[in-house]
């Protein structure tokens, strides 16, 4: 079954979330509270990414989508932005073989146009290297914004209409979904945000229409696999009705 054919209304009550999306927040505060530069927080945050990805198979998580860099994060200082870009390159270089051996398929979403070409090359290579894996589908959102994604999708769709390859009256929600960066993914069941902030900050706006949300006080560098398991254990008790009434 293609990922986008997975229908949320088929979910069984008590089942764990198949797709978890995470806003990894709090790296800066974690570092500042220790008198360290913000980048040190991001470095510790990168270690947590490994732990959380590797916990997915035993927790039944098939899809994990993480927010690594937003379209708004360019407003940070040049030191922080370039430090993060270096960290992403280092992560890809260090983790590629381990991800491959662990059965993780990696994909990236977001607009690659503004990213440096060496990084884009590494992203492409990692996607190709892990394309045969299916145990865990890790999607890294890099230069990603929900509004930007919908805008880019709409532009491509409008171009198809203008070229006569798509009829405007045939466009429905699934047509638009098929133009999004996430066209190969099911919608997230659960969105977690660490660090105590209760906002979604332009993350997966379209896709999270029926997602459950968990806002956790723990800062991302302290978010261990045990914390992840705790959050997921609370999810099974939820009654997701997707607008319907359960019989
Ligand atoms: C938000 O914390 C975090 C980010 C903008 C970057 C997320 C990046 C990582 C976790 C690093 C590694 C990622 C990968 C994929 C290797 P913040 O800086 O906004 O924290 P603050 O709110 O405390 O300032």
* pLDDT grade for 13, boundaries at 50, 70 and 90: low
Structural domain range at position 205:
19-147+186-235
44 alpha carbon – ligand 1 mean position (Å) = 10
Is residue 171 included in any domain, yes or no?
Answer: no
* pLDDT grade for 6, boundaries at 50, 70 and 90: very low
Q: Which of 41, 106, 116 is nearest to 85 (CA)?
A: 116
The four Cα atoms 52, 55, 59, 60 give a dihedral, to 10 degrees, of 90
Distance CA 134, CA 118 (A): 26
Per-residue model confidence as pLDDT tens digits over 160-193? 999 999 999 999 999 999 999 999 999 999 999 9
137 alpha carbon – ligand 1 mean position (Å) = 20
Per the CB < 8 A criterion, the answer to whether 215 and 35 are in contact is: no
Is residue 11 included in any domain, yes or no?
Answer: no
Is residue 5 included in any domain, yes or no?
Answer: no
Q: Is 25 a catalytic residue?
A: yes
Is residue 181 included in any domain, yes or no?
Answer: no
Is the C-beta atom of 88 inside 6 A of ligand 1?
A: yes
Is residue 101 included in any domain, yes or no?
Answer: yes
Q: Which of 203, 146, 138 is nearest to 176 (CA)?
A: 146
Residues 6 or more apart whose Cβ sits within 8 Å of residue 71: 110, 111, 143, 144, 145, 148, 202
Is residue 85 included in any domain, yes or no?
Answer: yes
Is the C-beta atom of 3 inside 6 A of ligand 1?
A: no
Is residue 153 included in any domain, yes or no?
Answer: no
Paired strand residues for 29:
none
| CATH number of the domain residue 117 falls in | 3.40.1180.10
Paired strand residues for 190:
20, 212
Q: Which of 76, 29, 25 is nearest to 48 (CA)?
A: 25
Per-residue model confidence as pLDDT tens digits over 31-66? 999 999 999 999 999 999 999 999 999 999 999 999
Neighbours of 48 (CB within 10 A): 23
Atom of ligand 1 nearest to the CA of 221: 10
Catalytic residue among 5, 9, 25, 230: 25
Total tally of structural domains belonging to the chain:
1
Per-residue model confidence as pLDDT tens digits over 185-231? 999 999 999 999 999 999 999 999 999 999 999 999 999 999 999 99
Predicted local distance difference test score (pLDDT) of residue 11: 53
Distance CA 141, CA 151 (A): 16
Is residue 34 included in any domain, yes or no?
Answer: yes
Is the C-beta atom of 68 inside 6 A of ligand 1?
A: yes
Is the C-beta atom of 52 inside 6 A of ligand 1?
A: no
Predicted local distance difference test score (pLDDT) of residue 2: 40
pTM above 0.85, yes or no: yes
Per the CB < 8 A criterion, the answer to whether 217 and 43 are in contact is: no
Mean pLDDT of 82-109: 98
Predicted local distance difference test score (pLDDT) of residue 1: 35
Our mutation pick for probing the ligand 1 site, out of 72, 220, 221, 222, counting the most ligand atoms within 8 A of Cβ, is 220
Q: Is 137 a catalytic residue?
A: no
């Amino acid at each position: 079954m293609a990922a986008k054919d997975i229908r949320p209304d088929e979910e069984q009550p008590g089942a764990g979330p198949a797709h978890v999306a995470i806003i990894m927040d709090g790296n800066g505060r974690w570092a500042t509270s220790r008198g360290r530069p913000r980048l040190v927080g991001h470095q510790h945050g990168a270690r947590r990414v490994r732990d959380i990805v590797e916990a997915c198979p035993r927790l039944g998580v098939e899809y994990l989508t993480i927010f690594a860099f937003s379209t708004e994060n360019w407003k940070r200082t040049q030191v922080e932005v370039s430090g993060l870009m270096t960290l992403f390159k280092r992560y890809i270089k260090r983790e590629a073989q381990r991800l491959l051996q662990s059965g993780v398929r990696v994909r990236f979403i977001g607009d690659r146009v503004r990213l440096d070409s060496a990084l884009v090359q590494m992203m492409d290579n990692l996607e190709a290297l892990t394309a045969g894996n299916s145990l865990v589908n890790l999607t890294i959102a890099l230069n990603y914004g929900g509004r930007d994604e919908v805008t880019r999708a709409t532009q491509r769709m409008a171009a198809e209409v203008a070229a006569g390859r798509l009829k405007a009256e045939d466009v429905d929600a699934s047509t638009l979904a098929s133009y999004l960066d996430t066209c190969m993914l099911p919608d997230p069941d659960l969105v977690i945000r660490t660090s105590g902030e209760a906002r979604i900050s332009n993350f997966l706006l379209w896709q999270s229409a029926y997602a459950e949300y968990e806002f956790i006080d723990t800062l991302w560098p302290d978010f261990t696999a045990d914390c992840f398991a705790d959050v997921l254990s609370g999810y099974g008790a939820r009654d997701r009705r997707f607008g319907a009434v359960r019989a």
